[in-house]
Amino acid sequence: MISALVADKMEFQALYVTGYGTVASYLGLPDAGIATYTDMLHRVSRFAEMTVTPIIADADTGYGGLLNVAHTVKGYEKAGIAAIQIEDQEFPKKCGHTPGRKVIPINDMVRKIKVACDARNSEDFLIVARTDARTSLGLDEALRRGEAYAKAGADVIFIESPESEGEMKKICSSFDKPTLANLVHGGKTPILSSNQLQEIGYSIVIYPVAGFLTATAAIEKTYIGLKESGQVPSLVDLYPFSKFNDLIGFPEVWEFDKRYSD
């Protein structure tokens, strides 16, 4: 929630709920199909409740079969999410920049997308279709799947883990629909600026690990300093306590206490 509250004030066009980061923060576990629909609905509902920026939310494989996909779409839309991301991995899924991922048959994913489109109440609630086929089956298969998913009704096409700028250009030139780039620092895809990605042809770019990798590095550095020297290292850049109180909503609490004090 801290990162969501900070990002919400930055006037981005959208926020992205990362499954990897949410599972790590909420459960302290890897993004390996462990988190359930209930776990994720709880988190995305809170994110949507506490922010005003439109949210794209990771929903893994839809958490089961076709009926589960319909249930997931309805739950995310009701929670206030603006777009849901569904991928074509086998269950249990894995993070898109880690090894060992397998994909389901293309026709099975096409049916999931059709169900997702039929389950939503409003066409303004967007369906982001992700394929993880690039890593195990090659770019051509990933593009074939992206085309099938677009024809099935997906609003945004997400080809996960391209491995070069040339592949990224080919992805964007292959679709009439918006494409999404996933920039994972330390992952398989080249890290480019948002301006470069826009020139290539991407409509959406997400940076799902940048916030929590930065935070984890700062926390580790702080705790090492405390352990070794008994004090917070002078080089650590601390967010002002008074500003954090404002971010988290203490002024409203103080105003409430003042209004109803004896």
| pLDDT tens column, 105-158 | 999 999 999 999 999 999 999 999 999 999 989 999 999 999 999 999 999 999
How far apart CA 241 and CA 223 sit, in angstroms, is 18
Domain edges within the chain: 2-209, 216-259
Q: What is the pLDDT of residue 261?
A: 87
How far apart CA 117 and CA 142 sit, in angstroms, is 21
Helix (H, G, I), strand (E, B) or coil at 213: helix
Mean pLDDT of 50-75: 97
29-33, 73-77, 94-98: which is most confident: 73-77
pLDDT above 90 as % of the chain: 89
226 pLDDT tier (thresholds 50, 70, 90):
very high
Q: How far is the first Cα of the chain from the last one, in angstroms, to the nearest whole number?
A: 33
Q: Count Cβ atoms below 10 Å from residue 206 Cβ, excluding itself.
A: 20
* pTM for this model (two decimals): 0.92
> Is 2-209 a domain of CATH 3.20.20.60?
yes
Mean pLDDT of 3-17: 96
Mean pLDDT, the chain, whole residue set: 94
pLDDT of 101 above 60: yes
How far apart CA 111 and CA 57 sit, in angstroms, is 20
Q: What is the pLDDT of residue 32?
A: 86
Which region, left, alpha or beta, applies to residue 201 given φ > 0 means left and ψ of -120 to 50 means alpha?
left
